[in-house]
Amino acid sequence: MTDLSTLGPVAEEIRPFWRHIERVHYTPPGLAPRRPLYIGSMTADARIGSLDGRLEEHLKNCLPPNAIKAGGAVVLAEGMGLAEGAQALRDLCMALLDVEAGPRFGEWFDVFNEAGNLCGEVERGLVPLLGTRARGAHLNGLVKGPGGMQLWVGTRSRTKRLDPGLLDHLAAGGVGAGFSPLQTMVKEAGEEAGLPPELARQVRPSAVLHYQLNRPEGLRRDEIHCYDLVLPGDFIPQPVDHEVERFELMPLSEVFDRVRDTDDFKFNVNLVLIDLFIRQGLFSAEGGEALRAALAGMAPGTETKQASGGPS
């Protein structure tokens, strides 16, 4: 990522937003090294993720002995086809869940290798431990008000496991196995905010953002599909499944100030909002340009490259 101090006068304008982007690049020092994880062969295209150091004690029991290679990489179903690879990945997940190496959500995410091929599924709770990429969908629920654009903002339930009480989008969620990001968006918008499908299906896919960071739960390598939807003024969202405590309609200028001055929004919501602010013209052209480049700079390269700040 560019050093902000090289950006000249525009640095002051964007510094308070830049920190949200910098934060998703952060790798804390002292992490145990991760083992690169492949399916089928030890080539860059066949890589799917990397195993967390916390899994070390389980590897001997949960992996076929020939899967661990000299040099430390792990290769599942070497020389075999996609079906065998998917089965080997499922076997690994089931074995890790059996020994309670990670939490069990009862929800599975699709896994793709670096060549973009679907390779199988990983239990959601194991995703940060296996370092596979996860997909999410976020909805900017907009209303054109008399004083300018407004945004529907949710307050996350105080009982949520992650980030309770923080501000969030009208709807957002992880993309489960077999679903597309759009299907997820329509489903979540119905479940979380009571948005009728016929309205939700008018969303506009506005951007795809990537980030990678280490959190307490492990490595988060996320691909966020962002959507805009301009809602009719008489639509009032309802917290259907109680993941959200309440919704409020906030002028976009106020959202802008909150993102700038506080950490009130969930960490990845800030990224989606910065993309929206750029497109809504809330930055100078230079400021928008620098932030756009920082967001685009998070596009997926190899995991090794992105994690180069880390010890592994």
Which chain residues interact with a second copy by CB under 8 A?
1, 44-45, 114-116, 180-182, 186, 201-208, 210, 225, 228, 278-281, 284-286, 288-289, 292-293, 296-297, 299-302, 304-305, 308
The least distance separating a second copy from the CB of residue 162, rounded to whole angstroms, comes to: 25
If DSSP codes are grouped into helix, strand and coil, which group holds residue 310? coil
Q: What are phi and psi of 138, to 5 degrees?
A: -130, 140
The least distance separating a second copy from the CB of residue 167, rounded to whole angstroms, comes to: 24
- Amino acid occupying residue 51: L
Rounded to an integer, what distance in angstroms lies between the CA atom of residue 245 and that of residue 47?
40
Residue 153 or 274 having the CB closest to a second copy: 274
Residue 32 or 293 having the CB closest to a second copy: 293
The least distance separating a second copy from the CB of residue 183, rounded to whole angstroms, comes to: 9
The least distance separating a second copy from the CB of residue 248, rounded to whole angstroms, comes to: 26
Residue 44 or 94 having the CB closest to a second copy: 44
Rounded to an integer, what distance in angstroms lies between the CA atom of residue 163 and that of residue 267?
9
Residue 126 or 224 having the CB closest to a second copy: 224
Task: Compute how many other C-beta atoms are within 10 angstroms of the C-beta atom of residue 36.
Answer: 22
The least distance separating a second copy from the CB of residue 156, rounded to whole angstroms, comes to: 26
- Helix 252-261 vs helix 267-279: crossing angle, to nearest 10: 130
Q: What are phi and psi of 17, to 5 degrees?
A: -90, -40
Residue 129 or 211 having the CB closest to a second copy: 211
Contact 130, 113 (CB under 8 A): no
Biggest CA–CA distance in the chain, Å, is 66
